[in-house]
Amino acid sequence: MSTPGPSNTAANASLPAPPLPAAGAGWALLLDVDGTLLDFADDPHAVRVDAALPALLDALHEATGGALALVSGRRLDDLDRLFRRPHQAAIGLHGSELRTATGELRHHAVAPLHQTRMQHEAQALAGRFAGVQLENKQQAVALHCRGSSGEWQQLHEAAIAVIAHLPGYELQAGRRVLEFKPGGMDKGRAVAELLQQEPFTGRLPVYAGDDLTDEHAFDAVNRAHGLSIRVGNRHPSAARFSLPDPLATIAWLARVRDALTQAAPAHVRPSEREIPHQS
């Protein structure tokens, strides 16, 4: 099982807000999507992207010289559908898919026979619980538990038993979700890989994420002496900074944009019109 954890971080929900860059600073932004840029939804297909958010990401992409990447448990084609930015760097399926800034694709694949077996076992497991919704990502399958805490615990125990007999796969736990995903890859490894590619190399890595799946990336960014930002109050965490929710994340990113481009004084809070609102 994939088990990220905090490193030398107290189980304290109180963390400082992240700093702002100096004008023209060499930052590389790596941003989780669900729960970080977008409000968390029970149904991952029900989320909506506010029209102002892609424009903000485009401005940050330009201000960082292209060193901006979305990071997600979603497939890359799902990210592209949401944000309509298939030309930009991105990490999908918790690191199993990676697209560089030049458009080069890397897939961490599993043998088709093992993938078919995983899907069969995951579907059978989901059918045992009334409160479980299955999300089929082809190479991976997520089981979203909307039932009671007791059902969640039963699902977790059953999934641990199932994953032991699925070659090439590991279990990734998240916020009320369990995912059967290809083994040997996670968000942290993918982030470290992307940081070796232009235009990310040599820049200060800044990662924002909200879930247990982001702990791998926090560890990777901390090792690179970057900024790790937890969104929400989940703890313990390896993150060293915190923002309360996606709206605050977007407001902070608007200030990062302004600071990098000197479009506005860094100490001025963005007006309401500058902050995209989630619909």
30: left (phi over 0), alpha (psi -120 to 50) or beta: beta
**Which positions are catalytic?**
32
Using CA atoms, how far apart are residues 82 and 71, in angstroms rounded to an integer? 13
What is the C-alpha end-to-end distance of the chain, expressed in Å? 36
189 touches 93 (CB < 8 A) = no
| Nearest one of 2, 5, 1 to 218, comparing CA atoms | 5
**Chain length of the chain:** 279
Give the orientation angle of helix 149-163 with respect to helix 112-126, to 10 degrees: 150
Q: Which residues pair with 205 in a beta bridge?
A: 28
Using CA atoms, how far apart are residues 34 and 212, in angstroms rounded to an integer? 12
Give the orientation angle of helix 215-223 with respect to helix 187-194, to 10 degrees: 40
207 touches 18 (CB < 8 A) = no
